[in-house]
C-alpha cells in the first residue's frame, strides 16, 4: 500500500469524504459489480466503490443503462459489499425506481440498504428529483447526486456528447448542484462537462464533486473499472485513461489455453492424479 494511504481511516464514511474536500485531498472512486474485482479494488486503497447502473452495459451487454432492474442492482451490490472492508460502497438507483414518485424512491433506497449493506445510494438529476432525495434522506440514507451527462436520460439527450457547453444548460446545472447540496446530498458526480464548469461547480459547493470527464479541478475522479482496465475496447472517450489492456491479456491467455488443449499439452503428467 502506498505511504500516502497508511494514515487513512480504517473505514471511509461520508464524513471522511467531506474532510478530504476540506483538506484538499482528492477522492478516488471506481465502479465494481462483483465480489472478486471489488476485493482487489478495495485492497488497492480506493476511497469509494460505485455499484453503477453501468452494470447494465458492461456486465449485461445492454446498449443503455435503462434495462437493469432493482433486483439485479441488489445482486451486484450485495456481492460487492461482501468483499469490501474499507471503501464507502455507493449503489445507483436504477431507471424507473425513483423518478416522479418520492415514495417509490424511498422504498427502492430502503430495499437497497437492507438487502445489500451498502453505505449510500446515487440518483441522477437535479431540481426534478428533489422530493425523492429529501424523502430518502429523511430515512437516514446518504445520497450522492449525479449531474451533467446523466445516462438514464439518454433518450432525452439523444447523444452522449459533452453536456452544458451552452450558458443556459450550464446555469441550470449550477443551480441543480446548489439544490442538491442544500437538500443534503453528501457528494455529487459530475459527468462529461467542460473543465471550467467543473471547477466552478466544485469551488461553489462545500460537498465533494467527483468528476468523470469533468476535468481536473473537481474534488475527485471516477471511472468505470472495465474501461480503465481496457476490458472494453469500443468505448474511447477523451476523458478515459486506460491503465491496462486486459482485453488483449485475457484473449492471449485464452488462446494459449485453447491451443494447449488442442495439442494435447494440457494437462501434463504433473497436472493429473
Ligand atoms: O453507472 C456508473 O458507472 C456511473 C458512473 C459513470 C459515474 O454512474
Q: Do 164 and 251 sit in the same domain of this protein?
A: no
Torsion angle (degrees, nearest 10) of CA 137, 31, 240, 7: 90
Mean pLDDT score of the chain: 96
User: Rounded distance, CA 175 to CA 163, Å?
Assistant: 15
Q: Do 49 and 61 sit in the same domain of this protein?
A: yes
Q: What is the pLDDT of residues 14-32, one digit of tens each?
A: 999 999 999 999 999 999 9
DSSP-assigned states of every residue in the chain? --GGGTTS-SS--HHHHHHHHHTTPPEEEEE--SHHHHHHHHHTT-SEEEE-TTHHHHTT--SSSSS--HHHHHHHHHHHHHH-SSSEEEEEPPTTSSTT-HHHHHHHHHHHHHHH--SEEE--BSGGGHHHHHHHHHTT--EEEEEES-GGGHHHH-S-SPP--SHHHHHHHHHHHHHHHHHT-SEEEEES--HHHHHHHHHH-SS-EEEESS-SSSSEEEE-HHHHTT---S---TTPPP---HHHHHHHHHHHHHHHHHTT-SS-GGG--
- Range 116-132 average pLDDT: 98
Q: Do 8 and 92 sit in the same domain of this protein?
A: yes
Q: What is the pLDDT of residues 182-200, one digit of tens each?
A: 999 999 999 999 999 999 9
Q: Do 38 and 116 sit in the same domain of this protein?
A: yes
Q: Do 236 and 251 sit in the same domain of this protein?
A: no
Band the pLDDT of 9: cuts 50, 70, 90.
confident
CB 104 within 8 A of CB 98: yes
Q: Do 233 and 255 sit in the same domain of this protein?
A: no
Give, rounded to a whole angstrom, the gap between the first and last alpha carbons of the chain. 39
Q: Please determine, for residue 6, whether its predicted confidence score (pLDDT) is greater than 80.
A: no
Q: What is the pLDDT of residues 38-89, one digit of tens each?
A: 999 999 999 999 999 999 999 999 999 999 999 999 999 999 999 999 999 9
Q: Do 202 and 252 sit in the same domain of this protein?
A: no
Q: Output 5 or 42, whichever has higher pLDDT.
A: 42
Q: Please determine, for residue 3, whether its predicted confidence score (pLDDT) is greater than 60.
A: no
Q: Quote the domain boundaries for residue 271.
A: 246-273
User: How far is ligand 1, taken at its centre, from the CA of residue 155, in Å?
Assistant: 17
Mutation choice for ligand 1 from 59, 91, 191, 220, CB with most ligand atoms inside 8 A: 191
Nearest alpha-carbon partner for 87 in 196, 199, 198, 220: 220
Domain count for the chain: 2
Q: Which atom of ligand 1 is closest in space to residue 53's alpha carbon?
A: 1
Atom 2 in ligand 1: residue holding the nearest Cα: 52
User: How far is ligand 1, taken at its centre, from the CA of residue 110, in Å?
Assistant: 21
Task: State the pLDDT at residue 272.
Answer: 98
Nearest alpha-carbon partner for 51 in 190, 225, 211: 225
Task: State the pLDDT at residue 2.
Answer: 52
Q: Do 163 and 257 sit in the same domain of this protein?
A: no
User: How far is ligand 1, taken at its centre, from the CA of residue 53, in Å?
Assistant: 6
CB 87 within 8 A of CB 42: yes
Nearest alpha-carbon partner for 191 in 58, 38, 65: 65
- 72, 134, 175, 191: the active-site residue: 191
Q: Do 183 and 49 sit in the same domain of this protein?
A: yes
Percent of the chain with pLDDT over 70: 97
CB 228 within 8 A of CB 206: no
Q: Is 7 assigned a catalytic role?
A: no
Q: What is the pLDDT of residues 144-183, one digit of tens each?
A: 999 999 999 999 999 999 999 999 999 999 999 999 999 9
Task: State the pLDDT at residue 89.
Answer: 99
Q: Do 63 and 48 sit in the same domain of this protein?
A: yes
Q: Do 145 and 256 sit in the same domain of this protein?
A: no
Percent of the chain with pLDDT over 90: 96
Omega prior to 267 cis, within 30 of 0: yes
Q: Do 144 and 196 sit in the same domain of this protein?
A: yes
Looking at residue 12, which CATH number applies to its domain? 3.20.20.60
Lining residues, ligand 1, CB within 6 Å: 31, 50, 52-54, 92, 189, 212, 222, 224
Amino acid at each position: 500500500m502506498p505511504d500516502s494511504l497508511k494514515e487513512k481511516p480504517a473505514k471511509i464514511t461520508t464524513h471522511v469524504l467531506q474532510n478530504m474536500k476540506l483538506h484538499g485531498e482528492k477522492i478516488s472512486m471506481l465502479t465494481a459489480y462483483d465480489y472478486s474485482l471489488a476485493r482487489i479494488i478495495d485492497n488497492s486503497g480506493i476511497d469509494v466503490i460505485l455499484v453503477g447502473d453501468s452494470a447494465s452495459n458492461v456486465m449485461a451487454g445492454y446498449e443503455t443503462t435503462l434495462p437493469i432492474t432493482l433486483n439485479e442492482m441488489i445482486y451486484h451490490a450485495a456481492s460487492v459489499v461482501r468483499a469490501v472492508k474499507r471503501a464507502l460502497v455507493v449503489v445507483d438507483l436504477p431507471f424507473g425506481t425513483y423518478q416522479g414518485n418520492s415514495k417509490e424512491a424511498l422504498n427502492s433506497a430502503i430495499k437497497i440498504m437492507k438487502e445489500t449493506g451498502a453505505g449510500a445510494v446515487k440518483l441522477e438529476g437535479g431540481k426534478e428529483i428533489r422530493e425523492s432525495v429529501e424523502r430518502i434522506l429523511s430515512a437516514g440514507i446518504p445520497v450522492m447526486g449525479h449531474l451533467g451527462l446523466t445516462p438514464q436520460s439518454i433518450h432525452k439527450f439523444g447523444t452522449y456528447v459533452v453536456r452544458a457547453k451552452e450558458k443556459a444548460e450550464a446555469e441550470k446545472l449550477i443551480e441543480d448542484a446548489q439544490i442538491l447540496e442544500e437538500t443534503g446530498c453528501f457528494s455529487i458526480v459530475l459527468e462529461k462537462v467542460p473543465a471550467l464548469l467543473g471547477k466552478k461547480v466544485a469551488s461553489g459547493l462545500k460537498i465533494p464533486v467527483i468528476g468523470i470527464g469533468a476535468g481536473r479541478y473537481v474534488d475527485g475522479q471516477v471511472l468505470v473499472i472495465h474501461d480503465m482496465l481496457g476490458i472494453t475496447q469500443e468505448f474511447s472517450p477523451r476523458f478515459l485513461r486506460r491503465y491496462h489492456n486486459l482485453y488483449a491479456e485475457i484473449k492471449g491467455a485464452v488462446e494459449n489455453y485453447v491451443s494447449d488443449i488442442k495439442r494435447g499439452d494440457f494437462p501434463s503428467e504433473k497436472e493429473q492424479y
